[in-house]
Every structure is written in structure tokens, then in C-alpha cells.
Structure 1
Amino acid sequence: MASNIQGPGIYLAQFAGDAAPFNSWPAITKWAASLGFKGVQVPSWDARLFDLAKAAESKTYCDEFAGIARENGVAITELGTHLQGQLVAVHPAYDEAFDAFAPAAVHGKPAERQRWAVQQMMLAARASKHLGLSSTVSFPGALAWPYLYPWPQRPPGLIETAFDELAKRWRPIFDAFDEAGCHVAFELHPGEDLFDGVTFEMFLERVNNHPRCAINYDPSHFVLQQLDYLAFIDIYHSRIKALHIKDAEFRPDGRQGVYSGYQPWINRAGRFRSLGDGQVDFKAIFSKMAQYGYEGWAVLEWECCLKHPEQGAAEGAPFIRDHIIRVTEKAFDDFAGAAHDAAQLKRMLGL
């Protein structure tokens, strides 16, 4: 049996800010460690914490960056590249909304923005190698998302063309990460063309089952879709290379269901919640991940429409710690075992 899941970790994207202790790498790592976290996931786009271009070019910078974290009591779990990955593929309907993810110099210039995003992912591959990381967590982007619902009738080949193009854009990125010894673990998420198992398989087939095409498992998105998030682990465990621990609830009523009537988060039937406040069966998730030998980090991605983030973070570290299973090295019924040899086995079978 493989070693235990690592953790607890915390994704810093939802906490980085302009006020202390969230505005510098030394301060935010001390804060995370003070709450009991053992690892931090780094938002690679946030210059208050991390210089991606420098990390891609300088192993020395990466050693110093990791050293500060280590001195403060935490390891680096993965680089987060969600914003850059999103911009690898953007449908024109979302151009203005997603411009905010990129520098002002490429706003209103979709082709230049896309090239910038690809270059960012290439930098992230080299930076991950310098940091000794085995995965980055990311988004794949989307070209087909506006056509999610098949009305009006979709012309034949529309979705296939979108996935062909998406795969074409990601293949060279996967190759760069392969050279870096690092997986690209996609968070399967509404708003992305890869949002469930079927769409992941459609994409995986088109990248010829690339060994670096992986999954960042986050059950909260599956609760909101009403997908069996435990069976998902049974099916795709070999591709799960990162793990976001995030809770959610789905409470439909006579007025709204999965689509939630354009309501804000607090009024939606499906809502993200702090750990322990939602409906996700984390005991079952940690059991399955231990069963299949997952060796990576369990990382809190805090999102909640009600609770303050600092309370959610403080509660999240012990929640994850208490769910991590120390995998046994012996069978529970070893006490009843006895010595045996090949002849005995044959006698017991009447052979």
C-alpha cells in the first residue's frame, strides 16, 4: 500500500491581498503554518507572492522561495495556473470578462492574450521543475461552453471541432510539462470545456492519452452537477494527481434546481460551503483516495457564500488533518494467520 496522503495544505489564491499578513510570501506562509497547514498551493499569477518569470529562469530564486516557506513550516504543494490556463481557450462571448485575467497590454486583443497565456504555462512548467513539483493545478479554458445546452440544435461537428482545437492548443504545453516531469491537473469545472468525466475523456482521446494530462479532483463541482463524485474516483483515480478539499451543498426546491435561476451564490440551490458545512462525504473520499494509493497533497480551496475566509481557513486545517488516513501496513486479521507452504495449499484444494 502507498504512503499516506500529505496535508493539510491550503490554496493561497483566495487569501492573498494588500493587507498583512496576506501581502507577502514570508508573512502568508507564517500565517498558514500558524493555523496548522503543512503545505501551500501558490497562485502563480500573484506578484505579491511569486515572480513566475524569475522562477522559470532562476533555480536560485526557486530555492530561496522554497527555503522561506520551509523555514516558516510549510512546503510548496503545487503552482496554481488557473487564470492562465483559462485563457488558453476563450470563446468570444467571454472576451471582455476574461480580459481581467491578463495584463492590460493584451486587453481587447484575443490572439495576443492567448499567446501570452500559452507562454505563461510554459514558464510554469520550467518553474515547477525548478521547485521540484509533480503537478500544477489549472483550468483548460473553453470554446464550446456557450453551447452546453443543445438548444438551438447544434450543427453536426460543432463540439468535435471545439475539442479538436482545444487539444491542439494543449499538446505542446503537455509536452513542456512532460520535459519538466510535472502533470497538468485540470480542475473539472463549469465554464470549462472539461467539466465532468465524459468531457475529460473526449479531450484525453484527442491528446492521445498524454501522460501529463491529469485531474485536480474537487468534489464540490460534482455536487453542484449532481454527479456521483465517489464513483468518479473509482473510474479516474489513475489520472487524479491533485486534490482540492472543498465542500458544497445542493438543495433544490420548487423554484430552482441545477441551473439556479441566475441567482447570486447565497440564493442558489447549489452553493459552495466551508469544510463540514456542506454535504460532501469526505470520509468516503479520503478512504477511496487511500485505497487507490494517492500520494499527493490534500489542499483546502476555501470558498463559501456565508463564512468569513479566515474562520474557514482556521477550521480547515484540523478538518483535513483529522480525515487523512494513516494507511495500515498489516492486515487486521493477521493474528489469525498461520505458516503455510505450497504442499499445504494443494492439500487444502484437494489437489
Structure 2
Amino acid sequence: MTTDQYVIEAEGLRRTYSGGFEAVTGISFSVARGEIFALLGTNGAGKTSTVELLEGLAAPDSGTVRVLGHDPYRERAAVRPRTGVMLQEGGFPSDLTAAETARMWAGCTSGARPIGEALELVGLERRADVRVKQLSGGERRRLDLALALLGRPEVLFLDEPTTGLDAEGRLDTWELVRTLREGGTTVLLTTHYLEEAESLADRLAIMHKGRVVSTGTPAEVTAARPARIRFVLPEGVAAGRLPLSLRAAADGRRIEIRTHQLQQALEELLRWARESDVRLEELDARTASLEEAFLDIARGAAQDTAQGIAKTETAGV
């Protein structure tokens, strides 16, 4: 992929706050045109600090950022009209209605789409005349999204877009984001909902303590993690009767098998059960989820950090 196909490019980004705390420690990644890219991480991983650099709200201490070929901080006038931003909290005037809030925002937006269209996109057309203070938390998040979409952005930044939404609202937002991608919009989102990232993202990066520790498609990130098979053995059937090749872990009658060859292991298990006339209760077989991969990566990164600190302290003795 050539450089001009990347809409967002970050190279060696660092960001340090007062007191010397380094929130972002030299990260690099890129986002292609028309792609949904998810930035994930534990609390304090540096996601929001990174997104603020991409949005041009702050300048990096070192490294470079390019959005649509421009520095979003120093060339803000060239970037801002082509981007939409949905922050974690909107901070709208509480006495304005949803429509008045959108109208006020449209007055500051180049080529704004009609107010009614923006509210309809997020399912707020029937709440247009309701004051912001009377909207539910989920409805306020929808209003945040409507304002981010007013300028028909080429690049859309979504910081925790579905926080506070119910299940239906979350699914509606997912569908809207997919529709925007199909229309050519590039989307970068942060989320704590790993199911959301797994469902939406074309590619993702996982951050931990200011570093990118894993990147790729959801399938690539989970591929290195083993699949699992879980079931319960009937009374009187010992776990020791299972084929040794399955390497099962037992907790009483509950059994778990972890494997990188799910189909082969499942076939062997079912063949053994049939030949042994054993009924496997609560049988569940599945590949690794993004949540499992995320937790494994986070634990591994934390252990590496702890070992590094220990080595440094030992060396200093």
C-alpha cells in the first residue's frame, strides 16, 4: 500500500505530561482510507492521549502525525473541516434542545448537512425538541455522534462511542459506522467493548502503558491464542479416561481442552465419546475471542514490564 493511501499516519509518537509521566512512548501505526481501525487498551494505556494527538488537540513531544497528509496540530485549518470528532463527553448547554444544539454546532461547521438528517442518522429525530438535560445518557451520546457527522467527515474519530447505550442503540450505532465506511469514511475508534472492536474493526492496535503491544486484523491478533473445548463428564467417568493427546485440564467433572487444532481435537474427542459410550454435557467449542487475546496480551505486557523493573533494580544494587 502506498503512502497516499494512508489517511492517518503516526510515527514514533511520544507524549509526556507535567511531572514526567510519559503517556505515549514512541508508538507507530497507520490507517488506510475507508478502514475502521480500533485502538484498544487497558485503563491508562494511552488511548485517549494518542487520539488527542491525531485530532490535533495537542502536539506530540516527538514523532510525527499526518491526517489526510497534513499535521493536524500545525495545519489545523486544512484538517479540521474534513474530520469529525466524538469525544468521551460532549459538554452541551443543558437548556438547549437537541435540534438547537445541532443548529449551533452547524453554524461552526463548513458544508453542514441538514439538522434533521443528522438527527435522523442517530435515531433522535423524534427527540429534536427535547432539552439536552432531559435526554438520557445514551441519547446524549447519540447527539455527540450526530454533531460529529454534521460536516460529512472524511475521517471520523470516535472515543468510546457506545458508552451508555443500550443493546439496541449499540447495534444501531455499529450499523451506522459500517454504512459510513461503505461510503468511504475512515473511522478510528477507541472502545472498552471488545465485542465491538471484533465486530467492527478491519484492523486494530492494542496499547499497554503507552506502547502498542499488538496490531493486525482481529483474526490475526487472536490466531496465536489457542481455541478451547469445554464440557462436563457424567458421574462415574474419570477425566483420566480421556485420550492423553488431548491434554485436558480437569476441575472435578468439568473439563477444558486448549488446542491450536480445534477441528482435529474435537473430532478425536467425539470419536472417543462415541466409542466409550460417554455423553458430554454442556459441550462448547470455540476459537479464541478477542477478549481472551486482549487479556493474555495485557497480562504478558504487565509481566514483561515487571521483569524489566526487577532487572533494573537488581542492576542498580
Normalised to the residue count of structure 2, the TM-score between the two structures is 0.35
Normalised to the residue count of structure 1, the TM-score between the two structures is 0.32
| Greater percentage in helix | 1
Structure with the greater alpha carbon radius of gyration: 2
